[in-house]
Chains A and B, each alone.
Chain A
Amino acid sequence: MRSAVQVRCLEHLPVKLRHFLLHVTRGLDPRVLLPRLRGKVGRDLDCRVKPGSDLGQRSAKYVLVFAVTFSLIALSATRASAERLVSSLSSHVVQITSNFTGVELTLFGTVETDQATVPHNGSYDVVATVTGPRESVVTRRKERIFGIWANADSRTFVEVPSYLEVLSTRPFENIADTETLRREQIGIANISLPQQIGPDIADVIPNDQFRQAFVRIKRERHLYGEIANGVTFLTPTLYRASIFVPAEALVGTYVVDVKLFADGAVIARTNSAFEIVTVGFERFIANAAVDYGLAYGMATAMMAVMTGWFASIVFRRD
C-alpha cells in the first residue's frame, strides 16, 4: 500500500532523489515520520497529490500525510543543496601566557551558491553563537539579616556555558520571528540555562530573577554578550565577525555555531571551534594546584621558608 502511494507522489521528482527518499523512509510509520520532517523543514506546504481512490478512509489520511511529507522533503532537499555556508577562524588555538589579557579572533566565511539557487528577495543574515566550556555556577542573593548583608537565597545553574557570545548581522527580531528564534536558540534569552530545582533540572522563564542576575553579572564580566551588528557582510556573500574572549575565560573548547538565515528561516549552518589552552608556567601551576594539592602546598610553603631565609641573609645586619 505504502509503496504504491510513494511512487505516485514522487513522480515529479528527479530519479536519484526519489530513490533516496524511498530508501530513507522505508518501513517508517508516517505518524512518526511527519513530525520529524516538519521539525527539519519548519514550514507547511500545499498538498500536491490526491489520495489513492482504491484506499480506505483511514489509509487515505496516511496517503495525504505522506504526500505532504514528500513534497516537503523534495523542497528542503533542493534548498539545502542551494546555499552552503563555509566558515573558518583566524586561529584555532589560543595560548594563555603570563601576560594574557584576552584575545580577539576573527570569524570569516562565505555563502556558496550555484546555478540552481533560487534568488532571495532580501539579503542573507548570519548569526554566530560562540559557546565556551560548560560549568556549574551558584548564584546567591544577599538579604539584610540582623542589620548585615548576608547571602540568603541561592540557585545553582547546571552545566551552563562559561562563555556565550551571540553575534549577528542585524537585531534578532529583524532576522526571524519569535518562534523561529526560540526554536533555533538564537540570543541569550533563548538559550537554555538549566537550574537545579529540588531533585530536577529545568530551564526557567527568561525573566526569572536569578537567571537575569546571572546573565547580567556574566555580561558585566564580558563573558556573555550579544552584538547585533557583530557580523558584517563585506560582499553580498562574504562575511566576517570579531570574537573577543576576555582574560577570565575558562580553558577549554569553544564552539562557534554559524547559522544562515534568509526570509526568516535557517537555510544553512556550519560549525567551527577553537581551543584555549594554558601553556608553560601558568599551566604547570594551575594543574599542579588541582591535581597534586598536597605536594603543591608543601612546595609553596617551602618557597615561603626559602624566601624568608634568603631575606634574612641579604638584610643581615649583625
Chain B
Amino acid sequence: MEIYLPIADLPVNVFLVLAMGLAVGFISGMFGIGGGFLMTPLLIFIGVSPAVAVATVSTHVAASSFSGAVAYWRRRAIDLALALMLLAGGIIGTISGVWLFTELRRLGQLDIMIGLSYVLLLGSVGAMMVAEGVRAILRARQGKPVELRRPGSHTWIHGLPLKIRFKQSKIYVSTIPVCVIGFTIGFIGAIMGIGGGFLLVPMLIYFLRVPTNVVIGTSMLLTLVTMASATILHAATNHLVDAVLALILMVGGVTGAQFGARAGQKMRSERLRLLLGILVLAVGLRFAFDLIVAPDDLYTIRTLQEVR
C-alpha cells in the first residue's frame, strides 16, 4: 500500500516503513538503545533526504525513549536531579545543533557533514566497543572472572569545582562535566538524528561513575527531552519533520522494541555488547564507503524556494 509523505514529498510503501520500524525497534529493544543511528541511514537509503531523515528520526527516538523512560520511572530507576542537570546542557546543545544544521543546509554542506559525523563517531565508538567485546569474551573463555569496572578510582574530573551531590546516584561531582556531557549529546543528536544513548551510557558510567541501575533510565529521560525539543526546533526552523513518516516509524518501533527486549534478555551481556559494536561499526563503514567512492552522479539539485 503506497502512501504519500507530505514533507518528505515522496510516496512510500507503508509496510516497508513499518517493517523498518519493527526491525530497528527490535534491535533497540535488544540493546536498550534508541536506534536513531540505524533509522536515519535506513531512511536515507529508501530515498528520504538526509535533512528530513534526521529531523523525523528525532521524533521517532522521542517516542521510543518515552516508553522506555516510563518503565524505568515505575522502577524508580531514574536520577531526576542528574537528568535535570544534564538537560540544562542538553537543551543548549540541541539549540546549537539545530542552528548549525540550518547553516550547513544553507551552505549545501549538510549531507557531507552528516556523513562525516557518522563515520567519525560510529567508526570510533564501534571500534572501541568491538575491541572491548572481544577482550571480554576472550577473558571469559580463559576462565578468568569478568572484569568489573568498579567506581572508586578518582580522575581529574572529580577535581573540578562547583560540586553537587546527586543522592540517587550516590555520586558527588562537579556540574561542569555533567553540563558538557548533556551539551555534547544534545548537539550530536540534533545534527545526526540520534538519541545518543549508546554514547551517553558509557560516558555516565566511565566519567561520572553513575551506578548502572540508574544510568539507562536517566539516559532515556535525557534522550526524550532533547529529541522532543529537537523535533520542535527542526519543525519550527527548517519545516522538515514529516509527521506521517514519524507516526509509522513509531508504531513499528515501539512494537519491535518489546520483542527485542525479550530476545536481549536471553543473551549474555558481553556477547550483546560485541554485537552492538559490530552493528555500530558497520553503519560507520557504510557511510565512509559513500564518502570515499566516487558518486554515480557528481551533480545534485535542491529546491531553494517554490514560487507561488
Task: Tell whether A and B belong to one assembly.
Answer: yes
The 0/1 profile, CB within 8 Å of B marked 1, for residues 18-32 of chain A is 000000000000000
Question: What number of A residues sit within 8 Å (CB to CB) of B?
Answer: 63
Contact A142 B295 (CB under 8 A): yes
List, in ascending order, chain B residues with CB within 8 A of A97's CB. Answer: 4
Q: Are B59 and A148 in contact (CB under 8 A)?
A: no
Q: Which residues of A contact B250 (CB under 8 A)?
A: 303-304, 307-308
Task: Tell me the complex Cα distance, A162–B247, Å.
Answer: 29
CB–CB B298/A142 < 8 A: yes
The answer to whether A307 touches B243, judged by C-beta atoms less than 8 angstroms apart, is no
Min CB–CB distance B142 → chain A (angstroms): 37
Taking the closest CB of chain A, its distance from the CB of B63, in whole angstroms, is 4
Residues of B within 8 A of A283 (CB): 6
**Are A218 and B235 in contact, CB atoms less than 8 angstroms apart?**
no
| A133 adjacent to B308 (CB under 8 Å) | yes
Task: List, in ascending order, chain B residues with CB within 8 A of A303's CB.
Answer: 59, 63, 243, 246-247, 250
Does A312 belong to the interface (CB within 8 Å)?
A: yes
B16 to chain A: closest CB distance in Å? 15
Contact with B along A159-201 (1 / 0, CB 8 A): 1001000000000000000000000000000000000000000
| Chain A residues within 8 Å of B, Cβ to Cβ | 96-101, 133-144, 147-151, 154, 156, 159, 162, 210, 213-214, 216-218, 247-248, 250, 252, 278, 282-283, 285-286, 289-290, 293-294, 296-301, 303-305, 307-312, 315, 318
**What would 19 A/B residue contacts be, using CB atoms closer than 8 Å?**
A136-B303, A142-B298, A151-B108, A151-B109, A151-B112, A154-B108, A213-B299, A213-B301, A214-B299, A247-B10, A289-B239, A293-B235, A294-B232, A297-B233, A304-B59, A305-B224, A307-B247, A307-B254, A308-B67
Interface residues of B (CB under 8 A from A): 1-4, 6-7, 9-11, 59-60, 62-71, 74, 108-109, 111-112, 116, 224, 227-229, 231-237, 239, 241, 243-244, 246-247, 250-251, 254-255, 257-258, 291-295, 297-308
Given contacts A286-B6, A297-B232, could you give 12 more A-B pairs where the C-beta distance is less than 8 Å?
A141-B298, A150-B109, A151-B111, A297-B234, A300-B246, A303-B246, A304-B66, A304-B227, A305-B63, A309-B66, A311-B255, A312-B70
